[in-house]
Amino acid sequence: MATKRQRVTDALRVKRVQPIFNYWTERLGLGGSWHISYRFKDEINDHKTFAETYQNHPYSKGTIIFDRVCVDAATNQELESATIHELCHLILSPFSQTIHDQFGSSGYVGNILDSALEMCCENVAESLLRVRYGHNRAYHDPLVFADVTEVPE
């Protein structure tokens, strides 16, 4: 059971994540077609993994789980990049499912294809941020931790 301190802290995390999440789910076309939730976890992979995504592609459902420590340490730019990256996993979930169906989750070919999928998600996330903020990614940090209701255009 979460302590009062965690609930308050998670509420602040939601204030950071929610506007980014709303902004990008709509722009990536996931808002109406997917049911996506997110939550926070104390630790993912010894705090080496910022977030992980679970998807149920045939039913267009997904869950993004953020590592609390990583979220707390992240800049808004890093948080936005990670959120886009995880949303890209949902977009590419048919490919991910095919990889796992055809090659398993631990074989040599499956691992290579999983790595390629990770690079694809990362490259798309970085490209989208460059489009939004400019070629040099001069990030304007429009998000304020406690007062955000929506990401500015």
Q: What stretch of H or E contains 36? A: strand 35-41
Q: Return the structure tokens found at 143.
A: 């998000």
Sign of the four-CA dihedral 89, 142, 75, 137? positive
- pLDDT tens per residue across span 33-43: 899 999 999 98
CA-CA distances (angstroms) from residue 109 to 53, 76, 91, 99, 138?
21, 35, 21, 9, 38
3-class SS of residue 40: strand
3-class SS of residue 39: strand
124 — pLDDT class (breaks 50, 70, 90): very high
- pLDDT tens per residue across span 59-70: 999 999 999 999
104 — pLDDT class (breaks 50, 70, 90): confident
Lowest mean pLDDT among 9-23, 32-46, 52-66, 124-138: 124-138
Q: Which residues contact 134 (CB under 8 A, 6 or more apart)?
A: none
Q: Residue 96 and residue 39: Cα distance in Å, rounded?
A: 22
Q: Residue 25 and residue 15: Cα distance in Å, rounded?
A: 16
4 — pLDDT class (breaks 50, 70, 90): low
